[in-house]
Structure 1
């Protein structure tokens, strides 16, 4: 049973809106198909329900190994026919009879645990420790459970050392867990910070009073503070952490040397021939002075500069310079408050496409796929065009109902020829067909008819689910003035695809 509440816009001069619920119980339908060899497909029914529109789908995929790569993008052939399933399900008693009855699990061991003791804990209560253990008073003793308990206590991160001891008696065994608690943070102290206050940096450490102290958490907090300072433009910051101060072993101190706030005074590029300095300057995120004036936006963030290097390399790789590398060097002013950055680029040769291979297509012919490609052997490699070609193959499969087809392009470089072999790895997935369409509107039901919504979709029961049509339908619903799109008033209109599989 599906209940979905959506809302259409109220009519003019009407200030009161009465929500309307429509309750639907769509019954699943059976859709069948055959392959060209006559072998029967498995009959499946899948439901697809929409934010505004509810679709029930049926998969048309054949059994594994029965696909024939003879279909063209833009059309396909189907026949009907399906096997009948069992009249009723097997009873639970039949399963139990066939399985020899319900299994009975018995605790293993002959020695009873007389008592479980915990020593060495000071702040962590004994009850909290005992609740995490499988070894308990009155149960049979198991060494495997005992070793598992040691791992559980270590995962609590409250102890830096956990051991156990056993004492056997005539009546049973006494288990004693010996723990050594970690030191707890009593106070977090920051020393030397002037530009950034304690409250501003305390939340960046990830530490809090009462947390266990460990070298790992303290070092992680120090690194997070370094990253935060560098993001703010303190490129020369240094931070040292200490544990224990003034006789209190629970104090964690961070001694900070902020250094000057560094701003970028100049950005240069060396080695670029095909792209101008102005073009590269628009691609990167680091920027120098604007109209000769230092501003708050050009702080020297080394993480951002490293990201700019990746942007430059990706840009050149996208243009076919697959071996291009980039780096940078920096120079500080005498007072350390200004930085000059020089990006060094080695473009290398431009690669062309040697061959194009298509792997994994079973239903769609290779010629049909190639007809959609813009790149052909002999062209210069271009990442943007490759992305467009990949999307064209995806939508080509989507036109035939392969809703979840996955296309992964791969490149194999031939360095001696300055060329690449381009490989499209295809996972076709199942083929889908629309079974039922339901419209669910909340608000003024009389203000809009279901036929208006169906016409906006351009999708019909019984046809193959077209990925491109689905995308266009979502766009039409979002732009339509008939439906409320403000999320603060009502849930925006949408088409939600949720397949459900059942055998018949």
Structure 2
């Protein structure tokens, strides 16, 4: 036993000595590697990156000790730069050797197989870019970003395989091979738990749509998980706005079909019971606020069906009323009491003075094209001002009124200090260039074509440039306009106009008019909702009557306009091969060869008085007052405008032209809006002996009075064709409109539901246009004229009476206007039915117009 114990002790001692010796050897090796001082740092393997750049990432310098912890941290720092694929740090005698393997540089980023998403769209999302560093982690991150983009577009089966092609000088071409796969649609949307509303009714309230073949222009039938969350909120708002205060969506599940092409979406809902509004009270301890007056502002009535959005509307109304009373900072808390047994919800709006909050800074976000200052100058608040919700809402409307943005949102976030807030103005740019054309036809004019191009936000500075040309069977227009909305950096808009117009009415009345000129204009606000503008135009107006040679006798009476060809017997039907226009030699004794506008001709047309060239010097002003709740799609309020042009401060024309108009809007229900527009105008000649020249009168019709052709209603010359033997009237011939000195018009419009899916972008409105045009001066109408021989009008052997018609009688038309926000641009169709007209008016039943943005 003693021998065994002795042997055991001896063996244990030997093992202890052996282990201790190994530890001493390892410690000696560690001291040999890390002991001592660094003499120099040597970088090896670098080709593109300079050694000094590598050394700058190290935590050691020559003269430092070989510290293992600092060496390890240096190694991790070099890896974190993503510049190197591999890094090692070793000791060579007293030198610290850093060996690196550089990551390649990306030469090109190439996408293959992508059709649904363009290369530019993909490059905006990924991090890899030419001359960037190639790393496996970054490439995998880009793969996930591309896949997420395809999922958002409804392609859940998309695959992305990254490849790279090595090039010389440690460069690579990065290639993303994309397999897009089919669009993952929504095969069916089902609801569980709904009793009051059908599945089809609830489907109309959410954004997601079931995939159908006719929805080829829409992407809402592609599955999107983010859209599904929005649909939950849409359902909640719908039910709460119909009295179901307790409604909730218990689950929203999307299941992929076995063929992995579509999803089944299922909403499980708990409707609860329907409630009415109960007792509505307003309580406040503020001195200047009277609870009884505030109670009258509340739009909610006791006993009405509960609607959640009415609570927000009431808070807005009370906030506005408090602001008018001088309280910019109020805290309104709705205290809701639900009585399940009576089915009523009592609400008490408690108003107290809120803490004063000031604007720390204003951030403009999303304006990729429009300059910041263009947006900031429309704000009614500034950094450092007291926070005011009313002014914020007004600022949003002013920004939207620019027409540069698809969406404008203003939100506030807390600043570091409790009495400060940060205002974030987020805008979504939209195309501000516009190329538009309109086309139409009628029983009189064969065609109408109108083409215009404009840019309302030139170089993102808010400047407007319009280049318009209009072509039709009656009119050609070239119009160039430039507007600077902040002239000399002041709240003053200024503009320059150049225009040239040619109106051709030869086919009907035998005259053309040409106008060439230019002008300047300025406008400035009187208040936030009122504006005054001043303008000056200088233009030349040239009216030409189509030449028509006739022969008159010594008394100025009409003899003939055509001559029978010599050698032919007089046929019963005069045709072009047996007659010709008269020539100077056809005039007999006591006869004269003249033009139909010759002053010697007793029966010359009244428009011949306008055949001259005038210089017009016109000074004008206009006033505009806007009290609508929305500058683009108003549903409440009114606007009013008045303008006058005074010609006579120099030049040849002398008149005062006045126009006024007003519009009233009233939202009835949802998207149903009623509107009434009234307009009127009058031209007063300053020289009664001259009257009002035809090109300075009013013309109505076309887009200004639906159902009537361009210049289709109002005073007009009419030829009554009669049989000289019996005196019986056989037919009549309408000439072109003479225009009018006065007009009035009322337009009543009601948007109506068309029961089409919202994604079609089709809206419709019923309209009624009523009004009239007339009141020409006697000198401009002339007297009835008898023409014994109507052969010059194409009626051989008959007579005619030229009669000016100027009945200021009521005209009316009704119909349907259809607006389609198509992928090609907004399109409008007008279908009209004439309710009342005069027999000499010219009408049309259909008009179509469209435009596209760029």
What is the TM-score normalised by the length of structure 2? 0.29
Structure showing the higher strand proportion among its residues: 2
Q: What's the TM-score, normalizing by structure 1?
A: 0.45
Rg larger for: 2
Higher relative contact order (CA 8 A, sep 6+): 1
Q: Which has the higher helix share?
A: 1
